[in-house]
């Protein structure tokens, strides 16, 4: 337990506070997703390319080890700095932060400025990682993304678990401040995807914690690094819900 405290000194139960008036504003009013948000969230990955490359390797294994063809056309929807799919051969992206587009294009992504520009019935794979919980209308977004997939194409969804960490359970403002509007278990997410025209084919839980602080272990063994981050995630209760669903012919 002392090891975990040294690794994660800020992991503690928080007091409950009344919701502040400024937290009641809409996401647009609070500009949650401006460039400052991106800098706060992704600076560590951009400043240390080894972390970005390491996460890219791990996310490929976590998100794409199940039934993936290397020649697939992959759309990363809400891709941030692109660390989830920068390894893909045929990669496309969309994000509301257009300030990221120059660096994403340098990484080889073909970027779309609007969802209307994204072609219909075109993609073999769509990744939606840590995005759905931020959206005002996730069902509408999933129905839109269904039109972008070929029949038989797969959508891969990664979302935080509904009650994934004691820190977030006990700090009633934290998830709202970070823009998390929803949380799902597999049951609810499976049902939502069914309602949007998908057939669910794979469910998993992804445990991980200490990806940055345990980086030095990856120099010895990627397998050992992944094992230790997963064990640490299990101990701390830090996990994501992962679902793979397929577009079906209606």
The residue among 178 and 28 whose pLDDT is bigger is: 178
Question: For 228, how many CA atoms within 13 A lie in the half-sphere containing its CB?
Answer: 18
Task: Please state the length of the chain.
Answer: 250
Distance from C-alpha of 47 to C-alpha of 37, rounded to nearest angstrom: 15
**Overall domain count for the chain:** 1
Instruction: Please tell me the predicted confidence (pLDDT) of residue 177.
Output: 53
Instruction: Please tell me the predicted confidence (pLDDT) of residue 182.
Output: 78
Phi, psi of 153 (to 5 degrees): -70, 160
Confidence of residue 138 (pLDDT cuts 50, 70, 90): very high
SS3 (DSSP) at 18? coil
Six-digit token string for 245? 């669903």
Contact between 222 and 172 under an 8 Å Cβ cutoff? The reply is no
Q: pLDDT digit string (tens) for 207-227?
A: 988 888 899 999 999 999 999
**Geometric angle at alpha carbon 60, from 57 and 64, rounded to 5°:** 165
SS3 (DSSP) at 244? strand
CATH no. for residue 61? 3.40.50.150
- Predicted TM-score (pTM) of the model is 0.78
pLDDT above 50 for 22: no
Q: pLDDT digit string (tens) for 114-124?
A: 999 999 999 99
What residue numbers bound the domain in which 204 lies?
2-247
């Amino acid at each position: 337990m002392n090891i975990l405290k040294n690794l994660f000194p800020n992991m503690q139960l928080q007091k409950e506070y009344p919701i502040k008036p400024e937290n009641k504003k809409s996401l647009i009013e609070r500009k949650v997703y401006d460039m400052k948000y991106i800098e706060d969230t992704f600076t560590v990955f951009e400043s240390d390319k080894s972390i970005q490359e390491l996460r890219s390797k791990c996310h490929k294994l976590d998100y794409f080890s199940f039934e993936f063809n290397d020649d697939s056309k992959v759309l990363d929807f809400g891709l941030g700095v692109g660390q989830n799919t920068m390894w893909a051969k045929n990669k496309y992206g969309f994000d509301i932060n257009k300030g990221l587009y120059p660096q994403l294009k340098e990484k080889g992504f073909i970027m779309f400025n609007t969802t209307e520009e994204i072609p219909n019935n075109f993609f073999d794979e769509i990744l939606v990682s840590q995005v759905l919980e931020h959206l005002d209308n996730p069902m509408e977004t999933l129905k839109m993304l269904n039109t972008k997939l070929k029949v038989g194409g797969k959508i891969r969804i990664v979302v935080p678990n509904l009650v994934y960490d004691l820190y977030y359970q006990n700090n009633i403002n934290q998830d709202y401040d970070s823009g998390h509007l929803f949380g799902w278990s597999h049951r609810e997410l499976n049902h939502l995807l069914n309602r949007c025209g998908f057939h669910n084919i794979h469910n998993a839980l992804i445990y991980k914690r200490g990806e940055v602080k345990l980086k030095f272990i990856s120099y010895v063994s990627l397998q050992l690094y992944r094992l230790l981050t997963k064990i640490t995630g299990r101990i701390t209760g830090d996990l994501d819900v992962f679902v793979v669903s397929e577009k079906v012919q209606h």
